[in-house]
């Protein structure tokens, strides 16, 4: 009994001490007729098999009344998860504890629970995907919204690159490719070392080291030689093709390769514009040509998906995909005949490379919203396209070969420079904000209005001027013929001068 008490007091029993009695632990000895015989409480402890054949496992318990043998029924393994210890055990001590009043094999219960859980989770995933519980009406990161220009109500059409139409790009490319053409330009060699890749236009955007210098072989032959290649697309089934002017610039012969035809067509230039970098070609065929429809670039939003198709590096009908990165981008490129000042360009991160020029930029309706024109060599994913809004305004004149006037270019005719701190005392200024006029050519709008050299422009129409770049940007946004008020400081005195914005292209004597 001392051993029993010691074990009990030392914490041997995991379910309690002293007079705390577990209802599932029971005294298996026969009741004694002696009133002095005490009940014995025990715990299984770690389970060890005590059976030898059919003989029960017995142990001896001693107390003050002597030694008595106790027969213990060997416990069956208990399930490893928790149980309700307050539950009454069954009368038969050889039975294992049951849960929920039902007897069920462990494997069957686990398997049924797994199936039920899988069914519930699968149902929730299916419902959330179909009903867009977490993403609303539009798929996250895969959907895009474009304007349906073909609809009568001009409504918005939601298109997803994945959900509902996983091969939308492939479908557009399949339909558009037959109308995308390869344009090869040929000319007779004029001088040694001359090539299309020496054009400042290409070197501005692709870098001086991008193309190798091509040495033309010395020959007495007047045979035509290939000087360049680019892309274009057929927009009229009679064989009218749109492309960039720089693709066919200097060409004496132009050959157009159309998908499905074994031989290239000789093309005629109907009209072109150096300033707008656009050209319309015409080829003759015995049946209608596949075409691409012109869309409205104004309906596109920044972030909408776009698709570029062209012939970069001679890889015909290459398809690249990106988004519309920005709109109304102006850039200036120095060409063989002077500067090309592009305005209203579309910026995209769809890959554009040499040979893509003149190819179409498409929306997800398969409509042309721009002509791929240039890409910045100093950055990745910055390409530019001439929008169809510009093209549509000039298309009739390009088809008929009519002269296309230059787009008005607002200017006032001054040369500008930022203000250095060392000049503050001489110019009687308090800060370096503003723009210093270092030259005013005679006859320019600024000269006629009374602006002079060493005047400092600090405001335009009441808006503060930070530096020369800020002033140039504000003048560029003005309209030709508009009257603007400049606040200037001259010899420490502040005054306002009104200038009528002129057209750089119409002026014979112009400054920066």
**Residue 375 resides in a domain:** yes
Strand partners, 294: 368
Determine the pLDDT at residue 7: 46
Q: Which of 184, 277, 349, 455 is catalytic?
A: 277
Determine the pLDDT at residue 17: 42
Determine the pLDDT at residue 407: 77
Determine the pLDDT at residue 376: 81
DSSP string, 254-275: EEEE-TT-SSPEEEEEEEEETT
**Residue 427 resides in a domain:** yes
Q: Are residues 168 and 292 in the same domain?
A: yes
Q: What residue numbers bound the domain in which 275 lies?
A: 154-185+212-407
Q: What is the distance between the alpha carbons of residues 450 and 486, in angstroms, rounded to a whole number? A: 11
User: 277 catalytic, yes or no?
Assistant: yes
Domain count, the chain: 2
Single residue among 389, 407, 425 that ends a domain in this structure: 407
Q: At 172, give phi and psi (nearest 5°).
A: -65, -45
Single residue among 381, 407, 433 that ends a domain in this structure: 407
Q: Which of 185, 231, 357, 510 is catalytic?
A: 357
CATH number of the domain to which 303 belongs: 2.40.10.120
Q: What is the distance between the alpha carbons of residues 322 and 359, in angstroms, rounded to a whole number? A: 15
Q: Are 307 and 398 in contact (CB under 8 A)?
A: no
Q: Are residues 338 and 469 in the same domain?
A: no
**Residue 129 resides in a domain:** no
Single residue among 358, 391, 407 that ends a domain in this structure: 407
CATH number of the domain to which 458 belongs: 2.30.42.10
Q: Are residues 386 and 256 in the same domain?
A: yes
DSSP code, position 482? -
Q: Are residues 378 and 251 in the same domain?
A: yes
Q: Are residues 244 and 385 in the same domain?
A: yes
Q: Are residues 346 and 253 in the same domain?
A: yes
Determine the pLDDT at residue 504: 84
Q: Are residues 371 and 432 in the same domain?
A: no
Determine the pLDDT at residue 239: 96
**Residue 119 resides in a domain:** no
pTM above 0.85, yes or no: no
User: 246 catalytic, yes or no?
Assistant: yes
Q: Are residues 445 and 372 in the same domain?
A: no
Name the strand (E) or helix (H) holding 113. Answer: helix 106-131
Determine the pLDDT at residue 191: 56
**Residue 219 resides in a domain:** yes
Determine the pLDDT at residue 167: 84
Q: Are residues 352 and 447 in the same domain?
A: no
Q: What is the distance between the alpha carbons of residues 434 and 468, in angstroms, rounded to a whole number? A: 7
Q: At 483, give phi and psi (nearest 5°).
A: -95, 125
Strand partners, 428: none
Token reading at 447: 């000269």
Collapse the DSSP code of 248 into the 3-class scheme (helix H, G, I; strand E, B; otherwise coil) and give the result.
Answer: helix
Token reading at 110: 């686990």
Residue matched to tokens 């091509």: 214
Determine the pLDDT at residue 509: 42
Determine the pLDDT at residue 452: 93
Determine the pLDDT at residue 80: 52
Q: Are residues 424 and 398 in the same domain?
A: no
Please give the C-alpha separations between residue 238 and each of 235, 242, 287, 390, 486, in angstroms, as whole numbers.
9, 13, 8, 22, 54
Q: Are residues 465 and 493 in the same domain?
A: yes
**Residue 96 resides in a domain:** no
Count Cβ atoms below 10 Å from residue 134 Cβ, excluding itself.
Answer: 8
**Residue 84 resides in a domain:** no
**Residue 369 resides in a domain:** yes
Determine the pLDDT at residue 218: 52
**pLDDT tens digit at each of 512 positions of the chain:** 444 444 444 444 444 444 444 444 444 444 444 444 443 333 323 333 444 444 444 444 444 444 444 444 444 554 554 444 444 444 444 443 333 334 445 678 787 888 888 888 888 877 766 666 655 444 333 333 333 333 333 333 333 443 445 688 999 999 999 999 999 999 988 754 445 555 555 554 444 444 444 455 555 567 889 988 999 999 999 999 999 999 999 999 999 999 989 899 999 999 999 989 999 999 999 999 999 999 999 999 999 999 999 998 888 899 999 999 999 998 888 777 777 888 899 999 998 888 899 999 999 999 999 999 988 877 788 999 999 999 999 999 999 999 888 878 889 999 999 999 998 988 999 999 999 999 999 989 999 999 999 999 999 999 999 999 999 989 988 999 999 999 999 999 999 999 999 988 777 444 44
Determine the pLDDT at residue 375: 85
Q: Which of 246, 304, 325, 455 is catalytic?
A: 246
Q: Are residues 451 and 386 in the same domain?
A: no
């Amino acid at each position: 009994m001392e051993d029993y008490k010691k074990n009990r007091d030392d914490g041997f029993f995991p379910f309690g001490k002293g007079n705390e009695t577990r209802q599932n632990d029971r005294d298996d000895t026969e009741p004694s007729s002696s009133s002095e015989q005490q009940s014995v409480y025990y715990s299984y402890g770690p389970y060890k098999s005590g059976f030898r054949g059919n003989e029960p496992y017995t142990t001896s318990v001693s107390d003050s009344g002597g030694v008595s043998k106790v027969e213990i029924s060997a416990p069956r393994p208990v399930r490893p998860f928790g149980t309700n210890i307050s539950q009454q055990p069954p009368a038969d001590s050889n039975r294992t504890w049951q849960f929920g009043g039902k007897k069920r094999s462990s494997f069957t219960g686990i398997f049924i629970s797994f199936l039920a859980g899988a069914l519930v989770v699968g149902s929730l995933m299916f419902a959330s995907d179909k009903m867009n519980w977490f993403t609303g009406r539009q798929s996250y990161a895969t959907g895009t919204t474009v304007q349906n220009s073909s609809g009568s109500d001009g409504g918005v059409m939601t298109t997803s690159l994945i959900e509902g139409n996983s091969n939308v790009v492939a479908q557009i490319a399949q339909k558009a490719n037959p109308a995308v053409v390869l344009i090869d330009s040929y000319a007779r060699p004029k001088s040694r070392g001359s090539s299309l890749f020496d054009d400042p236009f290409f070197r501005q955007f692709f870098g001086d080291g991008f193309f190798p210098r091509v040495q033309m072989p010395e020959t007495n032959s007047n045979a035509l030689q290939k000087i360049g290649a680019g892309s274009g697309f057929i927009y009229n089934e009679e064989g009218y093709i749109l492309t960039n002017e720089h693709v066919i610039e200097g060409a004496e012969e132009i050959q157009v390769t159309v998908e499905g035809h074994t031989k290239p067509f000789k093309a005629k230039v109907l009209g072109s514009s150096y300033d707008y970098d656009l050209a319309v070609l015409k080829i003759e065929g015995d049946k209608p040509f596949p075409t691409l429809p012109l869309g409205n670039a104004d309906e596109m939003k920044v972030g909408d998906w776009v698709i570029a198709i062209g012939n970069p590096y001679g890889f015909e009908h290459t398809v690249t995909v990106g988004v519309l990165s920005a709109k109304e981008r102006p850039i200036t490129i120095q060409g063989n005949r002077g500067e090309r000042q592009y305005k209203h360009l579309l910026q995209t991160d769809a890959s554009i490379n040499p040979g893509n020029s003149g190819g179409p930029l498409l929306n997800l309706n398969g409509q042309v919203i721009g002509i791929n024109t240039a890409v910045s060599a100093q950055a990745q994913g910055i390409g530019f396209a001439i929008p169809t809004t510009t093209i549509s305004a000039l298309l009739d004149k390009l088809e008929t070969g009519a002269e296309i006037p230059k787009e008005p270019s607002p200017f006032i005719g001054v040369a500008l420079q930022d203000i250095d701190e060392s000049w503050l005392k001489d110019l009687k200024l308090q800060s370096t904000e503003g723009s210093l006029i270092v030259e005013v050519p005679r006859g320019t709008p600024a000269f006629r209005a009374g602006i002079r050299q060493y005047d400092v422009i600090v405001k335009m129409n009441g808006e503060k001027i930070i530096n020369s770049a800020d002033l140039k940007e504000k003048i560029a946004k003005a309209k030709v013929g508009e009257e603007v008020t400049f606040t200037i400081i001259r010899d420490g005195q502040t005054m306002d001068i009104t200038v009528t914005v002129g057209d750089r292209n119409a002026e014979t004597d112009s400054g920066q």
